[in-house]
Amino acid sequence: MKKKVGDKISMVTSGWSFDHINKKFDKHILRSVPFYEEFHRISLKLSEFFIGEKTSILDIGCSTGTLLNDFSSKYPKKNYKIEFIGIDPVSSMIRAAKKKNKDKRVKFITKSLLDTNFKNFDFITSVLTIQFIHPSKRQNAYKKIYHSLKKGGAFLVFEKIRAENSKFEDINAGIYFDFKRSNGFSEEEINQKTLSLRGKMECFTPSENVAFLKKAGFSKVSNVFKWFCFEGNLCIK
């Protein structure tokens, strides 16, 4: 039975999928995630410390290509020789990304991170993507990212997180749901979205995420964003 989760998006309970929401994704994510546009602004600003005249950027889970579109605008062809690559396992998202982005330097690939073998990127971004990789494959995902970077390159990752204890988790969840209510989501939509993500999204605590990153090889990890149940980490190889 399908239930509404907001923005005229309907999902089967415990069956969240991005296949059916590409046309509504941009609107839905802005209403659903606090500071989502700030994640992009931070990505653009931090890229300045790792991007040269000839370089490469990878966006993991690029969805409709908004961030790569922003990158290509920030680094125009006349001044930079940059390769931009976006990957996403959802074909409808990639189609939407290709339609949105007209810069020929930007390439979009329908592929999961776990199925790639990239090398020599200067800057890799992942905005709310790793949390959808099964926990049993999470460590391997971080290792792939580490080995996809040049020495001195950086990985910027934004994720939804769990609090370190149940009391803070209750507080964070309450504040997040208040945010959704303030953006017009009904109680039913909030509850159905939560149910639809069961078994699809697994969040870890900040300390667990850092442990994953360090085990993958990143010795330099710094928190660059924190808002209750969302955080961003910059990791340098």
pLDDT in tens, 140-167: 999 999 999 999 999 999 999 999 999 9
Residue 13 pLDDT > 50:
no
Per-residue pLDDT at 14 = 47
The answer as to whether 152 is a domain residue is: yes
Mean pLDDT of 69-98: 95
The answer as to whether 14 is a domain residue is: yes
% the chain with pLDDT above 70: 91
> What is the domain range of residue 127?
2-62+114-236
Model pTM?
0.92
The answer as to whether 77 is a domain residue is: no
CATH assignment at residue 183: 3.40.50.150
% the chain with pLDDT above 90: 86
The answer as to whether 71 is a domain residue is: no
What is the distance, to the nearest Å, from the Cα of residue 15 to the centroid of all Cα atoms in its chain? 20
| CB of 72 closer than 8 Å to CB of 59 | no
User: Quick one: which H or E segment has residue 160?
Assistant: strand 149-160
For residue 4, what pLDDT band results from cuts at 50, 70 and 90? low
Task: Give how many domains the chain has, as a whole number.
Answer: 1
The answer as to whether 75 is a domain residue is: no
| CB of 107 closer than 8 Å to CB of 82 | no
The answer as to whether 225 is a domain residue is: yes
Dihedral over alpha carbons 88, 94, 96, 97 (to 10 degrees):
80
User: Quick one: which H or E segment has residue 223?
Assistant: strand 220-227
* Strands ordered across the beta sheet of 230-236: 106-110, 81-88, 54-60, 121-127, 149-160, 230-236, 220-227
